[in-house]
Amino acid sequence: MPLLPIDDVAARVSIPAGALYHYGPYKAKLAADYIGRLPQEKAGKLILVTAISPTPAGEGKTTTTIGLGDALTLMGKKTIICLREPSLGPCFGIKGGATGGGRSQIAPANEINLHFTGDFHAITSANDLLSALIDNHIYWGNALGLDPSRIAWRRSLDMNDRTLRQITLKLDNKGTTREEAFDITVASETMAIFCLARSLKDLEGRLGRVIIGRDKTGDIVTAESLKAAPAMAALLKDALLPNLVQTLEHTPAIVHGGPFANIAHGCNSLVATETALRIADYVVTEAGFGADLGAEKFFDIKCRMGGLEPAAAVIVATVRALKMHGGVAKGDLGREDVRALKAGLPNLRRHIENMLKFGVPVVVAINHFTGDTAAEMDVIEAECRALGVNVHICRHWADGGIGAIALAEDVAAMAESGAARFRPLYADDLPLADKIRVIAGEIYRARDVAFSDKALAGLAAFESAGFGAAPVCMAKTQYSFSADPALLGAPTDFVLPVRDVRLSAGAGFVVALCGDVMTMPGLPRHPAAERIHLDDRGEISGLT
């Protein structure tokens, strides 16, 4: 199906052509004055799509988000899909592109997967401008008295490069050095601020509150002290405008903000979601990786900060992934194996139980593969029925929106029923360590949390500095409820190790680093970049 001009896509949800800044025929940004004129009431129903713990077998969360959005559009619902922008790291690393698959894709896929409208480049530049200003300040005499050994701000790059996890900087010609590190851009505080800011004024204020380090007396020093925030905000002025594209079936999709819910908060921008809720009747969004990471952070960070009230949640699973959680090797997933499926079902069960703790009605979507058998489907349906949750076999990958109609009808009924009674998992006034314990116990089912001395000292310092009410962003492996990626299924009786904590004062949350998770990923032995090519016409292949 050929793509429509972006003006025609916008018109489907009553966005006028004059509200668009065009980036070619199929991409545009929504103008700030248009967003400012929209009704303040967020009348749309917000639907979250999340998933079981990811495996190499694949789950299809983005594909299902797109298929559900297309199905709601086919039902005559005024629908907008809200997705995160792809990061170059996974595009050239393990995962490949992040624009869906089959007939449930957003387009133009290659452009979205690569530079898109330049948002991530702007975020990287703003982040590293602050780094440059910090080192320049030290070079020119260090009037603020910054302690070079206590600089907390880290550089960023939107690429997997393990060699940048720790570097040494030469600050002058006298041999003065300091240790530094890079985060992948999507895990940077600048990205989190970008995703949580509601306006340019809010953006600049948050950037000014960033803690860059401490001075030689131990006092906190912020970006505001360097007069850095206005210039950083200037670099982000256009990037903060949400991006509009379309699905292959022409449902409008706003794609804005960063992924990586294993080490970041993993949601698209608050500006994008709130704008969509002020335009559409239904807004379908996603949160990264499994529900223990992306959905928990969506509820406890984004919804808390944004005052959002989700109406329903969809948990995506595949028969193949559940069999992998049951112990089947990837090469053997094509064969029927009811025993292994039953062994893997506790992973799905735990995610369902967890989502219900937030007071949001849940439905399960089984992303269908051709090798799935009726006996395997019967097992999943029986498990979901026992938990009082509906389950739908979805064929949107092959059939587009029509393949997810039953799911869409169920989601719409739940959303319109008013059954949601959303509540975050923990209270604002709970001590930071106890917030981590609540997440570890209630969501991961850990027996206990083992804090390093460094982590406990950090949490105490954050509370003393007035940040005790902040929510917590857990950084851990996406492959397991635990911090050990090899513990698949639904492990229990484990201890969650918290080795370090970081304060993202501008974003407004505390990051807890669990196990050996890294905020700058590395490339695999055979990265996806090896399979990406240009043909004689300049067309890109392999970026999926």
Three-state helix/strand/coil letters over 311-334: CEEEEEECHHHHHHHCCCCHHHCC
Burial of 202 (0-12, 13-18, 19+ CB in 10 A): middle
Residue of 12, 95, 150, 278 marked active site:
95
Average pLDDT rounded to a whole number, residues 457-483: 97
Q: Is 260 an annotated catalytic residue?
A: no
Annotation says 63 is catalytic = yes
pLDDT digits (tens, 9 = 90+) for 260-314: 889 999 999 999 999 999 999 999 999 989 999 999 999 999 999 999 999 999 9
| pLDDT at residue 321, rounded to an integer | 95
Query: For the chain, how big is the Rg over CA atoms in Å?
Result: 23
Separation CA 515–CA 109 (nearest Å): 35
84 is catalytic: yes
Which tokens hold the place of 440?
């570890």
477: left (phi over 0), alpha (psi -120 to 50) or beta: beta
Active-site position among 299, 369, 451, 481: 369
Beta bridge partners of 363: 314, 390
* 369 classed as catalytic: yes
Taking the C-alpha atoms of residue 97 and residue 91, their distance in angstroms, rounded to an integer, is 5
Catalytic residue among 27, 84, 206, 320: 84
Identify the active-site residue in 397, 451, 462, 494: 397
In the residue annotation, 357 being an active-site residue is answered as: no
**Contact partners, residue 58, CB within 8 Å, separation at least 6:** 318, 320, 321
The beta strand positions in 201-297, using DSSP E, are 211-215, 220-222, 243-247, 252-255, 282-286
Whether residue 298 lies in the annotated active site:
no
Q: Give mean pLDDT, residues 513-526.
A: 93
- Examine the pLDDT at 379 and tell me if it is beyond 90: yes
Contact (CB, 8 A) for 528 and 94: yes
Catalytic residue of the set 120, 194, 289, 494? 289
In CATH, what is the architecture of 432-514? Roll (3.10)
| Selected catalytic residue, list 61, 103, 154, 435 | 61
Boundaries of every domain in the chain: 6-117+240-417, 119-236, 432-514
pLDDT (0 to 100) of residue 166: 93
What pTM was computed for the model? Answer: 0.96
* pLDDT for 202 beyond 90: yes
* Cβ burial, residue 355 (10 Å; 0-12/13-18/19+): buried
pLDDT tens across 421-435, in order? Answer: 999 999 999 999 999
Identity of the residue numbered 58: G
CA distances from 255 to 83, 116, 245, 259, 497 (A): 5, 10, 7, 11, 34
* Rounded Cα distance, 373 and 356, in Å: 28
The answer to whether 261 is a known catalytic residue is yes
Confidence of residue 1 (pLDDT cuts 50, 70, 90): confident
State the pLDDT at residue 506. Answer: 97
Over residues 60-91, the pLDDT tens digits come to: 999 999 999 999 999 999 999 999 999 998 88
The pLDDT of residue 367 is above 90: yes
Q: Which of 98, 187, 261, 340 is catalytic?
A: 261
50, 55, 62, 63: which one is catalytic? 63
260 or 507, which is more confident: 507
Q: What is the mean pLDDT of the chain?
A: 95
CATH architecture of 6-117+240-417: 3-Layer(aba) Sandwich (3.40)
Q: Could you tell me the pLDDT band of residue 531, with boundaries at 50, 70 and 90?
A: confident
Q: Which range has the worst mean pLDDT, 92-96, 159-163, 413-417?
A: 92-96
Closest by CA to 138, choosing from 168, 169, 162, is 169
Residue 438 CB-density burial (10 A; 0-12 exposed, 13-18 middle, 19+ buried): middle
Class of domain 119-236: alpha beta
Is 140 designated active site?
no
487-501 average pLDDT score: 97
